[in-house]
Amino acid sequence: MTDTTPKKLHIKTYGCQMNVYDSDRMAGLLAPLGYALTDVVDDADMVLLNTCHIREKAAEKVYSELGRINKMKQARQADGGAMILGVAGCVAQAEGEEVLKRAPYVDMVFGPQTYHRLPEMVARLHREKGAQLDTDFPEESKFDHLTAPGRVEGRAAFLTVQEGCDKFCTFCVVPYTRGAEFSRPVDQVLAEARQLVAQGAVEITLLGQNVNAYHGTDADGAELGLGGLIRRLAEIDGIARLRYTTSYPAEVDDALIAAHRDVPELMPYLHLPVQSGSDRVLKAMNRRHGRDFYIDLVARLRAARPDLGLSSDFIVGFPGETDADFQDTLSLVREVGYVQAYSFKYSPRPGTPAAAMELQVPEDVKDARLKELQDLLNTQQLAFNQACVGRTLPVLLDRPGRHAGQLLGRSPYMQAVHVDAPADWLGRVADLKIVSAGGNSLGAVLADASEQPAARRSA
Ligand code: SAH
Ligand code: F3S
């Protein structure tokens, strides 16, 4: 019989939004066993770390956190209690047994493709001695085993439509940790979207490591790409906004570009990672786009949706990157113009081709390049934010602000916006007049309120 006495579950999530989605599903799978979420670690009966292996720092953080949590686990055991400690996600997938060697007090190690077996692992933990390790890439899809979506935080929800990556960029661990590309069937996606709306979501972000590789089949056997899927989702009553992330530039097709032109629910913001502006480096990275292709793609997207705001990921200090290559990255940034971006120093990942390449770039050179790139990107971001001052933007108010009477939300371009507004506006998409801009956020007033002085003057 399943033990359903009330228990507390703490999940700490690292890395990408797909991990956030997965953590919510893990909570959903454990709820029938009596586990309710808590924010307090040392009070938890089960602690799960949903980990990220993308860069060395991300992976190392997990081990120091495990050490810290083990102290709490020991303290609980000394008091006659117990704490189940699990490592999920990509560190678990990539390092498997190694996790148990470095942290022998861990009870469960399982990858991103096997967490649907969590209830079974927990049961086995109670039955058998020793830790549970499950890092298969199983035949059955976890998506067929997931219960209803977990919480919808605020009004914006994530929906995983695609998973895995077959692109094998030479720096990247994702193809090894997440496995081959897989798309969920159209009807499964539509059903989950309807459920999310029923739970209060008005904005849905479609997730996939390579989301625009999406190709699903609907109930009638028709194949849909991401553009087609977006059109179907936009027809669902209650969905005001759609987004998707992350895209692989070489696979953006005409149907997706057309969706940006035709679907008003699709927000004018796109994360389109270029990584580098140098053809030589892009080739060594095994990216399937060159500089000119990317710049032309941006032009085609902007022709379809002129107000499109672009974001990207950049890596500096990839093996063999020269000063001239780096200058090419800076010039690409100037040419494209980004509303925001993420940039990283190249971090060698064991088992990936780039880690074994010669001409690794010294750390101090990486530091200097990262700073120069980030200065430029920050300048562009601030300029974009400042250019929004005076405009009225629809903002999804989905969180309470820092002080009483304040609400926080997101603009169509993913900018954080704060505004003094009535508490019952939470959850609305409100037209706000932008009145101030910083590097990371915008200040706004209610568009109607800003009209009042003028209205009074004319009265
Ligand atoms: N398509 C993926 C992107 C992979 S990871 C997604 O799901 O979002 C996100 C970013 O991390 C990459 O775009 C890349 O810029 C960066 N990254 C990946 N491997 C890296 C490495 N070894 N060193 C530094 N940055 C890396
Ligand atoms: Fe990684 Fe490249 Fe795929 S960055 S996720 S291998 S597209």
Establish if 205 belongs to a structural domain.
Answer: yes
**pLDDT category of residue 451 using cuts at 50, 70 and 90:** very low
Q: Is the CB of 244 under 6 A from ligand 1?
A: no
Quote the pLDDT of residue 452: 42
Does residue 160 share a domain with residue 127? no
Q: Which residues line the pocket of ligand 2, CB cutoff 6 A? A: 165, 167-169, 172, 174-175, 209-210, 248
Q: How far is the centre of ligand 1, averaged over its atoms, from the C-alpha of 208 (Å)?
A: 13
Q: What is the pLDDT of residue 188?
A: 94
Per residue in 93-114, pLDDT tens? Answer: 999 999 999 999 999 999 999 9
Which of 53, 171, 172, 212 for mutating ligand 2's site (highest number of atoms within 8 Å of CB)? 172
Q: Are 209 and 302 in the same domain?
A: yes
Predicted local distance difference test score (pLDDT) of residue 148? 60
Residue 130 has pLDDT above 90, yes or no: no
Residue 255 forms part of a structural domain: yes
Q: pLDDT value at position 1?
A: 54
55 and 158 together in one domain = no
- Does some domain include residue 342? yes
Query: Distance from the CA of 309 to the center of ligand 2, in angstroms?
Result: 22
417, 409 contact by CB (below 8 A): yes
Range of the domain at 447: 392-451
Cβ 287 under 6 angstroms from ligand 1 = no
Of the residues 350, 385, 420, the one at which a domain ends: 385
Of 106, 134, 162, the residue that ends a domain is 134
**pLDDT score, position 457:** 35
**Cα 282 to averaged position of ligand 2 atoms, centre (Å):** 12
User: Is a pLDDT exceeding 80 seen at residue 417?
Assistant: yes
Which ligand number lies closest to the CA of residue 163?
Answer: 1
Residues 36, 129, single domain; the answer is yes
Quick check: 396 pLDDT over 50?
A: yes
Q: Is the pLDDT of residue 202 over 50?
A: yes
Domain shared by 55 and 203, yes or no: no
Mean pLDDT along residues 288-313: 98
Number of domains in the chain: 3
Point out the ligand 1 atom lying closest to the alpha carbon of residue 174.
4
pLDDT-based confidence at 150, cuts 50/70/90? low
Same domain, 357 and 405: no
* 324 and 413 in a common domain: no
Average pLDDT, the chain: 93
pLDDT recorded at residue 147: 63
Closest CA to 218 of 204, 227, 205, 228: 228
CATH number at residue 434: 2.40.50.140
Give the CATH number for residue 191. 3.80.30.20
In a domain, 2, yes or no: no
Same domain assignment for residues 167 and 104: no
Is the beta carbon of 132 within 6 A of some atom in ligand 1?
Answer: no
Residue 456 lies in a domain: no
- Residues 122, 149 within the same domain: no
Domain-ending residue, one of 351, 385, 419 = 385
Regarding whether 202 and 127 lie in a shared domain, the answer is no
Q: Is 168's pLDDT higher than 50?
A: yes
> Quick one: pLDDT band at residue 455, thresholds 50, 70, 90?
very low
Ligand with minimal distance to 251 CA: 2
Closest ligand 1 atom number to CA of residue 313: 15
Tell me, rounded to whole angstroms, the distance of Cα 87 from its chain centroid: 19
Residue 259 has pLDDT above 60, yes or no: yes
Q: What is the CATH number of the domain that holds 12?
A: 3.40.50.12160
Tell me which ligand sits closest to the C-alpha of residue 211: 1
In the predicted structure, residue 453 carries a pLDDT above the cut 60: no
Are 341 and 401 found together in one domain?
A: no
In a domain, residue 296? The reply is: yes
Q: How confident is the model at residue 449 (pLDDT cuts 50, 70, 90)?
A: low
Let me know if residue 292 belongs to a domain: yes
User: In the predicted model, what is the mean pLDDT of residues 276-294?
Assistant: 98
Residue 233 lies in a domain: yes
Kindly indicate the confidence band of residue 153, based on its pLDDT and cuts at 50, 70 and 90.
low
- State mean pLDDT over 167-179: 95
Q: Pick the more confident residue, 173 or 457.
A: 173
Does the pLDDT value for residue 173 go beyond 70?
A: yes
**Closest ligand 1 atom number to CA of residue 207:** 7
pLDDT at 450: 47
Q: Is the pLDDT of residue 454 over 50?
A: no
Please tell me whether residues 277 and 358 are part of one structural domain.
yes
Distance CA 349, CA 238 (A): 43
pLDDT tens for each residue of 327-339? 999 999 999 999 9
